[in-house]
């Protein structure tokens, strides 16, 4: 009866074996696991990763995983709020700048009483308030 001896775990990034001594790579329980952690991930760390478990019988490979950094851009600050004047009973659409986000952002709207209001009241979607499916526009029907 032969004993299976696990020799090592290796990782590939974009098809190239990672240096196990790379200070950006932290091995989690290196003697029993092939799990790695990328320390302070940056754009150059994005790519396709694959784990290899190697022993005296051969090599087993994980599925390839794409690692991408999360990103959330900011709204463009406006120096002064833009006043909108709408007559009662009229509809008005307020545009919203679409942000570059990974993963996609979820948009919501709130009513702030001033530029310094740190507790704006979330708007409730109803027959008078509607938000398009991408959050880009808020439609108000003032009744």
Tens of pLDDT, residues 94-126: 777 777 888 887 777 888 888 788 999 988 888
Burial class (CB in 10 A: 0-12, 13-18, 19+), 56: exposed
User: Which segments of 42-134 are extended strands (E)?
Assistant: 47-55, 58-61, 65-67, 71-72, 91-95, 101-102, 110-111, 121-122, 129-131
In CATH, what number does 6-67 get?
2.60.40.10
- How many CB atoms within 10 Å of residue 47? 15
Tens of pLDDT, residues 58-94: 999 999 999 999 888 887 777 777 777 888 777 777 7
Tens of pLDDT, residues 22-66: 999 998 887 778 899 999 999 999 999 999 999 888 999 999 999
Which part of the chain is CATH 2.60.40.10?
6-67
- Residue 143's pLDDT band, with cuts at 50, 70 and 90, is very low
């Amino acid at each position: 009866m032969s004993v299976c001896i696990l020799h090592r775990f290796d990782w590939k990034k974009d098809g190239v074996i990672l240096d196990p001594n790379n200070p950006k790579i932290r091995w989690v329980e290196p003697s029993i696991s092939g799990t790695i952690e990328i320390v302070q991930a940056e754009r150059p760390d994005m790519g396709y990763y694959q784990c290899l478990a190697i022993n005296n019988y051969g090599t087993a490979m994980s599925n390839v995983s794409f690692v991408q950094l999360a990103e959330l851009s900011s709204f463009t600050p406006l120096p002064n709020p833009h006043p909108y004047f709408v007559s009662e009973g009229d509809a008005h659409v307020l545009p919203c700048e679409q942000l570059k986000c990974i993963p996609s952002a979820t948009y919501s709207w709130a009513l702030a009483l001033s530029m310094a209001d740190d507790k704006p009241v979330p708007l409730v979607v109803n027959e008078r308030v509607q938000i398009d499916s991408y959050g880009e526009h808020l439609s108000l029907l003032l009744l």
